[in-house]
Amino acid sequence: MVWYPKISTTKRKTKRLKKIELGRCNINDHGFYELIPLILKTEVVILDGNDLFPLELRIFARQLKEKVAEAKGVMKLQTLVLSNCSLLDDCLFELSRCITHIPNVDLRNNKFTIEGLRALAKFCRKSDMGKLKSINLRGCGVTSDELEELADVFIKFETLNLAGNSLNGRPGVEEFCRFIDLRHCRLHEQSKKLIQESCRKLKIDSKIF
């Protein structure tokens, strides 16, 4: 008679993945589609330096909104980093469909024009910002004209990074400053310094610190 040790039928509970970092991994469209379910179940997702396209982001936005509906508004994804992903206006438009369900979004070093930023602002206004609290638009081509037009949305972020953009026109900075008392806001310190420098050059009296 041969005795076999009893194999436990109890499944070991694995810890939930909290962070995925896949920067500069040359992820193609099929790879991205496969990753979407995992992205939606992870708190922090870093996809820096992977080229993404409108169709991929459209499918991502659709699945994210479906997940939000299933979970009755509760999302596990808290931070999404899409910096240096070669995103253009059409990509920002697709991402804007779901962006207000994600508290922290990093879009630095992508190139947007007023058209893409208008789409972002439109969805932010529509949902009254939703859960979106922090956005990084460093080096995204934001100009003084765009700052002027979108100031009412930009001031609603808890953290807004506009460093590395050219805000050298007086009207945009003036309009932005008109909306808020910058001394008591929670803007990123780099953004405050950038605005302060622009105000100094344009001789705008604005108390920031």
**Sorting pLDDT into bands at 50, 70 and 90, what band is 64?**
very high
pLDDT at 1 over 70: no
pLDDT, tens digit, 9 for 90 and up, residues 97-112: 999 999 999 999 999 9
Q: Say what the pLDDT of residue 10 is.
A: 46
pLDDT at 61 over 70: yes
pLDDT at 139 over 90: yes
**Sorting pLDDT into bands at 50, 70 and 90, what band is 197?**
confident
Does residue 13 or residue 150 have the better pLDDT?
Answer: 150
Q: How far apart (Å, rounded) are the C-alpha atoms in residues 66 and 71?
A: 9
Residue with tokens 């970092």: 21
- Over its C-alpha atoms, the chain yields an Rg (Å, rounded) of 21
Q: Say what the pLDDT of residue 2 is.
A: 46
Q: Say what the pLDDT of residue 163 is.
A: 92
pLDDT at 196 over 80: no
What ranges do the domains of the chain cover?
17-140, 142-209
pLDDT, tens digit, 9 for 90 and up, residues 150-188: 999 998 999 999 999 988 877 877 777 777 655 556 667
Q: Say what the pLDDT of residue 78 is.
A: 98
Average pLDDT score, the chain:
87
Name the strand (E) or helix (H) holding 62.
helix 54-70
- What percent of the chain has a predicted confidence (pLDDT) above 70? 85
Q: What is the pTM of this model?
A: 0.82
- The mean pLDDT of 38-56, rounded to a whole number, is 97
Domain 17-140: which CATH class?
Answer: alpha beta
